[in-house]
Structure 1
């Protein structure tokens, strides 16, 4: 039987597309390509080096660093050598890194730089199985445990090609390939076990469904420890033979320029990224006056009408087509040029809920954005919209070859070749998530008559008020985030008499508000801002919900939630427990005398 894994596909690319660029890195003044043949040779050499250093089948490697070719090379090298690979978020603390390295039974760790090395060095006595730490290019550490990249790769020179071919041919579809550690919003992270077949099937299904081809290309910038970025950067790229451009670090400084230079056709972003893009464009548009402002508003209206057709797989015709072409020339092309999205064909948002208004805005400026839903436990995708089948406000329809069902309580259940094998060394958690032949996601959903899924909330996040009412905070928080100026919103109400909210502010739009209203001191507690927020909650949020779900009080916080303070996961999901602890005083003040 012929085995089809990502490694087998990489070998085929190295043979059939030997001189075609596989990935690019940015040097001082231009992008430098590496061919598929060279990429394959790098992965094979990394596998040889691991074997030479005593790496055995079934062992693991961990990677701690920003997106670099070395990240992908060691990941694939570990798989080719017969083991599994695990990513660690660069924002993780030394103790969090120690937990993942130790729990995953990794014998080798690749680190990006001296700062990430110090995390491992601090906990090295708690890592009895660790054999070596490898440095990415450019890093320098003087320690007997450490090998620089060039020295590590050279170690494999005496290992034969036959040994690597033997390990390649011994790979089995059900063999563990990747461990994806959950963000740990409610406790220690769990290691999601993904097999070679899980990954290979998902990558092939996704590119076929979306119509991604070898002519597409993407910029890799979100954490590779996350299954979605890993899929787009490594597994789908190898499967579709498209090109990957590794973003410069830090992306906050370089991403916009990288996008403008590369003009990616395939763009993946978490909601917070799209929200920032949207805020920037809207802020720029808000500065327009007179005729320019009228043209911009007219163009957005035309774009919104055209998007209604493209969402159904239709194209504008007649007068609307003429207007849309003119709007493209006058407005849309300039917006896309500013974002570096002139050639974008697939702009995907996933990993957390997003306001439908964000998607509608991008669609209205002719940027083909759509929402995908999934989890690490099914390799990333459960359902998805498509550019030609896009029902904004839903997360789309099930992936071909899978089943998505609802349990009696509305919990989303998934069946298919992409469903994971279980949680590493955690049979209790595995049994709780995998039973009846299905993945029980923990998310609550509902289908419409066309098979489009809407996420209602999380089972564990359901708020039960002191009156016994069950309330899903997600939709209330999404409505609050639609208010201009709002960055984040967290609904409070567990075992309370009524619903309240903590609100943080977007700095760009808040500065504009302060200037417009002559606010010179702190903004978050200014009476004008509080009155503005109350008016929007009364008129735009509360009317959307039943009385018991309406926001009765709120507090505007002096700062946004951050990863550094532990209030957001590395993928920017909110950690409710931590936020409740950090802002206990503000919360209690909303219930005094209540």
Structure 2
């Protein structure tokens, strides 16, 4: 293996407290301070750390009462709620293994995860999630109870409502909880993260208690997290990144956590909570970008001039800072004026006026989107990682951020580039393997190095750049290898485009499938005097096709000729989680989309 290894001094080499025990320490230290908030009609209602600890201890006793043994799986299915994290912590506290299931999962996926993990208890959110078990109950003989978070009273012998579940635990069960907590070791399995599965059924990533605790503390140290921070929990808790923020970092540091009511309510929550730390997948940032860009495009006269000036100032100021240069007195003065006239108002309207850390991860984001936000004095720091590395591999920090790069290796880890360009990772955050899949584990963990499956390179200053997935490489009929990821990110940065899928494997040129943003499409057509068209007609309007071609021509100008997109087709319907085209973290399931629209792809190569 060649290529330089980018290593940092190993952090956290001493003793560290595992998450369940650390949680109790934090609860004692924080006492009556708010731990988490739930939103009701009257506003955000707090629960203190001491009450939070009592809830987790009660749930742990109830699991003991139900006969849950160390090593057995407790599955959790539903949107983000306190019951989700309470059950997760309680399961770890008694030596059981939490296994989250995406709330968008189809019944077959729910059955698969319960059966594959050996789940003996399922915590389900409501009747909608309970209904996913109706067909598979007879095929899950090991499932003892389904505990309901909310919704309806238990009407089935398998069901039990949350209060009835908690009532099972008594003080007589506390010594056993204490014994199991004391018996936990760093190498014990702490949780199962089922990958979101862009191809086939998900794999179960095994993360130990030690890995979870180490990663939580390493991230907290990297980002300077404190009890004064505020975080909104809205991304799927079955995903490792959300678990780090809502569970492991939360219990290690003791900041305030706010549970979103729904994804649709996030915009309102942001202005109410004003988080100090906000994590968004690229589609979240792109939607915010589109909303702001639409308002800027609608501005006229003085407001339009002011907005253009402020965007220019912000971009130039941040460009200087990110390159390690002093912006200078005149640019600093302009930025101060722009803050008072524009930036402060925009940040307040977004609910990001108190945010000190904005993060994008989980999928590629177009550099131009990030540069747009710097024009509003919002610096989004990109990170990179995978479930198999407990979330983070590289992070972008203050003083070490470059747009287009995903940062530098997390302190205490090693990252290297294999001769074929694959990113490989080693460190205390790397997983134990895939549950029940020794062959897959052996292929992914080689001599302690995680084979990420991603392609990338380091620049001379040690910043990592990710160029795509090995398995997604397009090999043209001329033998050229092309990674579609960056091309797709640029396509999705076009104002009208919501999703872009580049095609061309085994072909003599590249093409693309596009879906459009309904709001942006309507605004564009209205600006050109066209109204009243349905989506299927509007997305193929000659003005729209010309605008898309113009954007693709701009993308092609800075690509090698072999990477030019020669043709495109606009799909009339959006890609969605419900149709199976997107994962729960909004990544495109490439094979699903290409198979579903095979004829549209073939037509581009026939014409």
Give the TM bin, normalised by the shorter chain. over 0.9
Match of 2:333 among 322, 333, 340: 322
DSSP-derived class of the 2:244 partner: helix
**Contact residue 290 and residue 495 of structure 2 kept, 8 A:** no
2:592 maps to what in 1? 578
For 1:44-55, what aligned pairs fall within 5 Å after superposition? 44-55=57-68
Match of 2:538 among 516, 523, 532: 523
- CA drift of 1:205 comes to 0.5
2:384 maps to what in 1? 373
Matched, 1:450 2:461: yes
**Contact residue 127 and residue 151 of structure 2 kept, 8 A:** no
Q: Distance in 2 between matches of 1:550 and 1:305?
A: 30
Matched, 1:485 2:500: no
Q: Which moved more, 1:121-130 or 1:137-146?
A: 137-146
Match of 1:568 among 551, 573, 582: 582
Q: Distance in 2 between matches of 1:234 and 1:561?
A: 31
Match of 1:251 among 247, 255, 263: 263
Q: Deviations over 1:205-251 (max 9, x none)?
A: 00101111111010101110111111111111111111100011x22
- CA drift of 1:312 comes to 5.1
Q: Distance in 2 between matches of 1:430 and 1:120?
A: 30
Q: Distance in 1 between matches of 2:254 and 2:579?
A: 40
Matched, 1:35 2:48: yes
DSSP-derived class of the 1:189 partner: coil
Q: Deviations over 1:125-160 (max 9, x none)?
A: 111110100011343230111110000001002433
Q: Deviations over 1:381-413 (max 9, x none)?
A: 001112432100011111100000011101000
**Contact residue 64 and residue 173 of structure 2 kept, 8 A:** no
- CA drift of 1:530 comes to 1.3
- CA drift of 1:450 comes to 0.7
- CA drift of 1:363 comes to 2.1
Q: 1:236 to 1:182 in 2, by over 3 A?
A: same
1:542 maps to what in 2? 556
Q: Distance in 1 between matches of 2:109 and 2:258?
A: 29
**Contact residue 501 and residue 555 of structure 1 kept, 8 A:** yes
Q: Which moved more, 1:515-524 or 1:85-94?
A: 515-524
Q: Distance in 2 between matches of 1:310 and 1:128?
A: 60
Q: Distance in 1 between matches of 2:263 and 2:550?
A: 37
Q: Distance in 2 between matches of 1:70 and 1:255?
A: 20
Match of 2:177 among 156, 160, 164: 164
Q: 1:307 to 1:4 in 2, by over 3 A?
A: same
For 1:266-345, what aligned pairs fall within 5 Å after superposition? 266-311=277-322, 316-345=327-356
TM-score scaled by length of structure 2: 0.95
- CA drift of 1:284 comes to 1.2
Q: What RMSD in Å do the two structures reach over aligned CA positions?
A: 1.4
**Contact residue 364 and residue 486 of structure 2 kept, 8 A:** no
Q: Distance in 2 between matches of 1:414 and 1:91?
A: 30
1:83 maps to what in 2? 96
Q: Distance in 1 between matches of 2:558 and 2:316?
A: 24
Match of 1:17 among 25, 30, 37: 30
- CA drift of 1:314 comes to 6.7
Q: Distance in 1 between matches of 2:573 and 2:201?
A: 27
**Contact residue 26 and residue 253 of structure 2 kept, 8 A:** no
2:133 maps to what in 1? 120
- CA drift of 1:528 comes to 1.6
Q: Deviations over 1:50-100 (max 9, x none)?
A: 000110111010110000000000011111011110111111111110000
Q: Distance in 2 between matches of 1:260 and 1:449?
A: 41
1:502 maps to what in 2? 513
Q: Distance in 1 between matches of 2:106 and 2:302?
A: 52
1:463 maps to what in 2? 474
